[in-house]
Amino acid sequence: MNTMRSIMENKAFYLKLATIQRELNAPKNQYNTFGKYHYRSCEDILEGVKPLLGDLFLSISDEIVQMGDRYYVKATATLTDGENSFQASAIAREELNKKGMDAAQLTGATSSYARKYCLNGLFAIDDAKDADTEAYKQQENKGTPQTKPTAARTPEQYLTDFTHWAHQCKDKVALQGAYNRLSQLLIQ
């Protein structure tokens, strides 16, 4: 009987996560005047998700990782009900230097970027239309509508995305989240 209860609690947890992923509205409330685009920040995502959490707890942690001679910030978002949990991680590299920023500001900006993308992974937020991605830069034409339709994504592109997400997974649950994210992209 304990096993059946455990399975049902696990299922209920993932149903809550799926509901949050479906209902989350995180608009792009920020504007970059230099690049002339709107974007969402980590704070925008948190503002949108907090009312949906109910009895779930969300935490975000950072870890500084050195690879070769470069430093990266690895952010991990964890959603839990106290017994079940789901995690997503993202990594961002610190610039060697950024004009007008001291070291603390640089690390903070890198942390915010990594946190935004781990929340994107946790809550299945599609970032293909975000202005700070390469895909957006290729699609955007100085704010004017495109005259020709965008080509459908190839299976190789989906596989590349999934492989990238899967490499960030630490366990089976995180891998399931990456798979779910891919599944959502395939049905759009």
Cβ(81)–Cβ(103) below 8 Å: no
Mean confidence (pLDDT) of the chain = 81
Q: Which long-range contacts (CB under 8 A, 24 or more apart) does 22-27 make?
A: 23/52, 24/48, 24/49, 24/52, 24/123, 24/125, 26/123, 26/125
Q: What is the pLDDT of residues 126-138, one digit of tens each?
A: 866 555 555 455 5
Q: What is the pLDDT of residues 47-93, one digit of tens each?
A: 999 999 999 999 999 999 998 888 899 999 999 999 999 999 999 99
Nearest to 178 by CA among 161, 160, 166, 164: 166
Report, in angstroms and rounded to the nearest whole number, the Rg of the chain calculated over CA atoms: 18
Give 148's pLDDT tier (boundaries 50, 70, 90).
very low
**Burial class (CB within 10 angstroms; exposed 0-12, middle 13-18, buried 19+) of 164:** exposed
pLDDT given at position 86:
95
pLDDT given at position 140:
52
Determine what percent of the chain is predicted with pLDDT higher than 90: 39
What average pLDDT does this structure show over 26-41? 87
133 Cβ partners below 8 Å, 6+ apart? 127
pLDDT given at position 181:
74
84 Cβ partners below 8 Å, 6+ apart? 9, 10, 13, 14
Q: Is the dihedral of CA 66, 71, 72, 74 positive or negative?
A: positive
pLDDT given at position 166:
73
Q: Is 80 helix (H, G, I), strand (E, B) or coil?
A: strand
77 bridge partner residues:
60, 88
Determine what percent of the chain is predicted with pLDDT higher than 70: 77
Please check the confidence at residue 147 and state whether its pLDDT lies above 60. no
pTM: 0.65
